[in-house]
């Protein structure tokens, strides 16, 4: 497949995404769907971050609100506390780390950004759960992950009715991207929202047709790691879904993904290395 040169500004530096990179997940929560990256202690958080860095992760995605189905609501103040405590220890050791803040609340973005350098806001709702999110992004100017989403967290499984899932997801992203552009937001990453208001069949159709999203002309993030589309298809549980994740990540890379958001960084980095070889790209260019 052709590799399209594309850049995005993170921490005031242009990052070349024509060669895919890995975003490692750090859940500062007690109730993530996969406990392997869910931490409530400083020691656990730092062990996770150390491993992300050592294994080649370029972005650290920190969240304080679990978005798994049937998750409990978390008050904004508690979400801010969880994320801030995690970032305090992460940035003390890794002051130049590229931090992604995983939240759908503009109030959390504004408060956390007062104290910490936030390079990316990773909003699983695409701005639909907070009417002030887009203007907050335009004001503070982090990069923004624009994700396809329907409904609310507690009822999104009831919003899985599509006539043509790929074209409808693309249309949603294009419309929301236009709104961001009109506000002057230029550094946008799109995410088709695997697992959010979609059946397993929908998720695999999106994965199969991921190259269609190239028409949006924005870098694409694939967040498939250990999700139910994988483990339910194989009749296993999330802790057993690493092999499935690596296979799906390779399919996402072939489809045009620029960023892999994962729980397990090393296998994703290795998949990217093999993808480079598949496309006859020198490892020296990494």
Task: From the candidates 114, 227, 232, 235, give the one annotated as an active-site residue.
Answer: 227
Rounded Cα gap, residues 25 and 36, in angstroms: 10
Identify whether 93 is a catalytic site residue.
Answer: no
- Name the pairing type of β-strands 7-10 and 13-16: antiparallel
Is there a catalytic annotation at residue 227? yes
Question: Residue 278 is inside which H or E element, if any?
Answer: helix 265-278
- Dist. CA 160–CA 168, nearest whole Å: 12
Catalytic residue among 58, 150, 226, 261: 261
DSSP string, 117-151: ---EEEETTTTSS-TTHHHHHHHH--EEEEE---S
**Catalytic center residues:** 227, 261
């Amino acid at each position: 497949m052709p590799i399209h040169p594309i850049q995005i500004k993170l921490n005031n530096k242009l990052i070349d995404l024509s060669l895919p990179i890995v975003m490692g997940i750090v859940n500062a929560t007690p109730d993530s769907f996969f406990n392997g990256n869910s931490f409530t202690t400083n020691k656990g958080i730092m062990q996770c971050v150390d491993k992300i860095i050592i294994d080649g992760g370029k972005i650290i995605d920190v969240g304080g609100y679990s978005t798994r189905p049937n998750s409990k609501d978390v008050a904004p103040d508690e979400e801010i506390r969880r994320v801030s405590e995690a970032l305090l220890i992460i940035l003390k050791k890794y002051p130049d780390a590229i931090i992604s803040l995983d939240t759908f609340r503009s109030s959390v973005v504004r408060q956390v950004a007062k104290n910490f350098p936030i390079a990316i806001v990773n909003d699983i709702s695409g701005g639909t759960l907070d009417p002030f999110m887009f203007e907050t992004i335009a004001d503070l100017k982090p990069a923004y992950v624009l994700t396809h989403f329907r409904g609310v967290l507690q009822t999104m499984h009831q919003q899985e009715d599509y006539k043509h899932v790929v074209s409808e997801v693309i249309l949603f992203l294009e419309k929301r991207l236009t709104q961001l552009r009109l506000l002057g937001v230029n550094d946008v990453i799109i995410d088709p929202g695997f697992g959010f208001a979609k059946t397993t069949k929908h998720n695999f159709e999106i994965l199969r047709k991921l190259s269609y999203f190239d028409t949006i002309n924005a870098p694409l993030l694939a967040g498939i790691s250990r999700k139910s589309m994988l483990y339910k298809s194989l009749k296993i549980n999330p802790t057993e879904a690493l092999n499935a994740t690596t296979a799906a990540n390779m399919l996402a890379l072939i489809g045009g993904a620029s960023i892999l958001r994962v729980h397990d960084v090393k296998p994703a980095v290795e998949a990217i290395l093999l993808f480079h070889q598949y496309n006859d790209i020198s490892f020296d260019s990494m």
